[in-house]
């Protein structure tokens, strides 16, 4: 049923209506909330509005939410979740004819959505001319679109956006290239930032639109419309040399980054902060536009040891590597008439570099500058997945299976029966049940034994919890997921960065010795499985312990806190520049 849009002149009774609702809420909430705020248009004296009272209940933090939900249930309210607006929990009710119709939300005191509501209300209260103009626009919208609430909202959105821009409400963009494992950490970070009221744009390959938009994030397509996992598999499959494979992948990605620079430049315009991901996308463009940046680094070997006294050898080797890395970005700088840099470190943020790894896995390098901060892994405990009946039946039929998950390494341009046979035979000879992820082309005409089942794209956050151990390529995201889920690993790295992550797992005591891609055979897989069984109890204990510790770090929350600190300092700097400090 279509909603009738009705906008009325300001009514003094709305103040009393709010007080009546607040008093009823306080009858059950007074001891567990910080306050109850009248927000929205009815809270601004003299402003025309729809006759509905908007209310924000303010709590200390989200640990109070269960108590608030329980208390509100006693007086007839039902929790609806955030309804797609992170940072704001909605409640509905039936009846309550004794009260004015109202919208009820609960926000923690630091939620950006609450701050937006309060800032917008206070701006209109202190600017009568702006309130009058907003009222005129609302009345005009109601006349033009009396039965189309979406068009009505669109009609007034330009004014709201203008006010938010004046208030300095922050817009953030980040851009990343690569496979799903390269994109997923930034989805988690984006959701955390949005939950705290930031407007976030995440740019990547067009093929990731569905993944990113399904998370409720504004997506910006960047670069050519290619299947990046297929491309990565083809490139890496041309050699088993980890160094050569990484160089080829980097060259491929860097060409996309260079060619899409002007797209990124346009998307950076109007943003308050650019989060420069591990691909360094946006660093040059943000510099040209004068936009502050925060960096993210996955491969800690790339972080400069600024506090270390360098030997001649250090300077020689380090300089060669630095110049090679800088060379790629100088090609982008040249597009904007900028002078070349000697090292990529020169285009790094001078404020903050986030390292989304657990301190229980990685020791902080004492030679790093203070701006380099280990936050803990970025992940989402609430990610939901419902398996199909075949998978459930398989899991219930026997012992926990081995999970084979080689990421882009198992993406097939054409069938590769010999490679799949290698793993299937190894599992059969060692008596393993197995879930095999990937190998879709080969599996189309391949009959697996009853002790094995194939699966497609299933979130690791669910899949890995079902297994005994995981055989994987040790990409950043996959390696992190094994630790988060508390499951041991058999690493099979294909490129140099994956080898680095494999060594982290080995050092943490949760993985067997890795199998180099060039040494991958049925026999080496069998030996690794036998090693895993012989040392499983210790590796599983270590993995569970690290998993428990990881949850205490709240990596996304810590990253958002640090980013907010940078944003707050930017605002203070702007105030000083403008003479308002």
Instruction: Report, as an integer, the average pLDDT of 341-357.
Output: 89
How far is it, in rounded angstroms, from Cα 530 to Cα 512?
Answer: 10
* 497 contacts 299 by C-beta, under 8 angstroms: yes
pLDDT of residue 228: 63
Q: What topology does CATH give the domain 13-167?
A: Beta Polymerase; domain 2 (3.30.460)
pLDDT of residue 566: 85
Nearest to 194 by CA among 90, 287, 82: 82
Strands of the 102-108 sheet, one edge to the other: 35-39, 53-59, 102-108, 89-93, 77-81
How far is it, in rounded angstroms, from Cα 220 to Cα 260?
Answer: 12
pLDDT of residue 236: 53
pLDDT of residue 439: 84
Let me know if the fold of 171-376+557-577 is the same as that of 389-553. yes
pLDDT of residue 268: 92
Mean pLDDT of the chain: 86
Residue 367 pLDDT > 60: yes
How does residue 574 score in pLDDT terms, banded at 50, 70 and 90? very low
Q: How far is CA 291 from CA 71, 260, 263, 472, in A?
A: 45, 19, 16, 39
Q: What percent of the chain has pLDDT over 90?
A: 53
Which residues, 6+ apart, have CB-to-CB distance to 301 below 8 Å? 500
**pLDDT tens digit sequence for 109-132:** 877 678 888 888 888 888 888 899
pLDDT of residue 241: 57
Q: How far is CA 294 from CA 56, 93, 181, 371, 575, in A?
A: 32, 43, 20, 10, 20
Instruction: Report, as an integer, the average pLDDT of 355-378.
Output: 95
Residue 495 pLDDT > 90: no
CATH class label, 171-376+557-577:
alpha beta
**Higher pLDDT, residue 322 or 273:** 273
Q: How far is CA 369 from CA 322, 474, 565, in A?
A: 17, 28, 17
How does residue 294 score in pLDDT terms, banded at 50, 70 and 90? very high
The alpha carbon of 272 is separated from its chain's Cα centroid by a whole number of angstroms, namely 18
How does residue 573 score in pLDDT terms, banded at 50, 70 and 90? very low
Structure tokens at 446: 């391949």
Asked: is 389-553 a CATH 3.40.50.300 domain? The reply is no
How far is it, in rounded angstroms, from Cα 59 to Cα 113?
Answer: 13
pLDDT of residue 299: 85
Instruction: Report, as an integer, the average pLDDT of 20-45.
Output: 94
* 533 contacts 525 by C-beta, under 8 angstroms: no
Which residues, 6+ apart, have CB-to-CB distance to 73 below 8 Å? 79
Max avg pLDDT among 66-80, 342-356, 445-459: 66-80
Residue 577 pLDDT > 70: no
**pLDDT tens digit sequence for 141-168:** 999 998 888 888 888 888 887 787 667 6
Residue 320 pLDDT > 70: no
**Higher pLDDT, residue 544 or 146:** 544
Instruction: Report, as an integer, the average pLDDT of 16-20.
Output: 96
Phi/psi for 172 (5° steps) reads -125, 140
Q: Where are the domains of the chain?
A: 13-167, 171-376+557-577, 389-553
Residue 364 pLDDT > 60: yes
How far is it, in rounded angstroms, from Cα 192 to Cα 18?
Answer: 31
How far is it, in rounded angstroms, from Cα 322 to Cα 121?
Answer: 50
How does residue 580 score in pLDDT terms, banded at 50, 70 and 90? very low
Residue 253 pLDDT > 80: no
Residue 572 pLDDT > 80: no
**pLDDT tens digit sequence for 209-239:** 999 998 889 999 998 887 766 666 555 555 5
* 453 contacts 464 by C-beta, under 8 angstroms: no
Residue 491 pLDDT > 90: yes
Instruction: Report, as an integer, the average pLDDT of 513-523.
Output: 92
pLDDT of residue 111: 75
How far is it, in rounded angstroms, from Cα 51 to Cα 11?
Answer: 9
Instruction: Report, as an integer, the average pLDDT of 103-113.
Output: 85
How far is it, in rounded angstroms, from Cα 252 to Cα 264?
Answer: 18
How does residue 44 score in pLDDT terms, banded at 50, 70 and 90? very high
pLDDT of residue 409: 55
Instruction: Report, as an integer, the average pLDDT of 498-503.
Output: 90
């Amino acid at each position: 049923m279509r909603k009738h849009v009705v906008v009325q002149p300001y009514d003094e009774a709305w103040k009393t209506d709010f007080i009546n609702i607040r008093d009823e809420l306080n009858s059950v909430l007074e001891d567990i909330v910080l306050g109850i705020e009248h927000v929205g248009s009815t809270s601004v004296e003299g402003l025309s509005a729809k006759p509905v009272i908007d209310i924000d209940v303010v709590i200390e933090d989200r640990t109070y939410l269960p108590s608030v939900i329980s208390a509100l249930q006693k007086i007839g309210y039902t929790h609806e979740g955030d309804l797609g607006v992170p940072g704001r929990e909605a409640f509905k009710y039936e009846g309550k004819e004794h009260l004015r119709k109202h919208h009820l939300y609960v926000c923690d005191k630091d939620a950006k959505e609450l701050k937006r509501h309060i800032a917008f209300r206070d701006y209109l209260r202190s600017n009568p001319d702006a309130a009058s103009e907003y009222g005129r626009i609302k009345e005009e919208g109601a006349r033009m679109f009396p039965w189309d609430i979406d068009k009505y909202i669109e009609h007034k959105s330009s004014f709201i956006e203008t006010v938010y821009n004046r208030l300095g409400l922050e817009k953030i963009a980040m851009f990343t290239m690569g496979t799903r494992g390269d994109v997923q950490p930034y989805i988690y970070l984006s959701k955390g930032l949005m939950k705290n009221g930031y407007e976030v744009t995440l740019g990547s390959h067009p093929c990731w639109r569905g993944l990113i938009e399904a998370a409720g994030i504004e997506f910006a397509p960047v670069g050519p419309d290619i299947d990046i996992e297929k491309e990565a598999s083809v490139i890496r499959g041309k050699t088993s040399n980890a160094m050569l494979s990484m160089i080829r992948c980097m060259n491929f990605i860097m060409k996309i980054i260079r060619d899409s620079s002007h797209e990124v430049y346009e998307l950076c315009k109007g943003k308050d902060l650019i989060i420069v991901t591990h691909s360094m996308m946006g660093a040059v463009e943000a510099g040209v536009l004068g936009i502050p940046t925060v960096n993210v680094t996955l491969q800690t070997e790339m972080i400069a040891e600024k506090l270390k006294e360098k030997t001649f050898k250090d300077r020689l080797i380090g300089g060669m590597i630095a110049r090679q890395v800088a060379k790629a970005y100088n090609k982008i700088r040249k597009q904007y008439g900028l002078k070349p840099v000697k090292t990529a470190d020169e285009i790094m943020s001078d404020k903050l570099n986030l390292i989304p790894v657990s301190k229980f896995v990685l020791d902080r390098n004492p030679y790093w500058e203070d701006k380099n901060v280990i936050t803990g892994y970025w992940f989402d405990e609430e990610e939901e997945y419902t398996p199909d009946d075949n998978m459930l039946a398989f899991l219930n039929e026997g012992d926990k299976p081995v999970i084979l998950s080689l990421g882009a390494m198992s993406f097939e341009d054409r069938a590769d029966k010999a490679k799949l046979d290698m793993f299937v035979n190894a599992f059969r000879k060692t008596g393993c049940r197995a879930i095999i992820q990937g190998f879709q082309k080969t599996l189309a005409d391949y009959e697996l034994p009853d002790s094995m089942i194939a699966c497609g794209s299933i979130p690791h956050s669910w899949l890995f919890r079902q297994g005994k151990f995981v055989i994987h390529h040790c990409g950043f995201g996959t390696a992190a997921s094994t630790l988060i889920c508390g499951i041991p690993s058999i690493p099979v790295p294909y490129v140099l960065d994956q080898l680095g992550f494999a060594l982290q797992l080995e050092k943490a005591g949760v993985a067997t010795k890795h199998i180099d891609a060039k040494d991958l055979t049925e026999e080496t897989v069998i030996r690794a499985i036998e090693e895993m069984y012989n040392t499983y109890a210790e590796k599983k204990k270590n993995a569970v312990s690290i998993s428990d510790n990881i949850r205490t770090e709240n990596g996304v929350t810590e990253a958002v806190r640090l980013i907010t600190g940078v944003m707050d300092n930017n605002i203070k700097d702007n105030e000083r520049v403008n003479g308002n400090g």
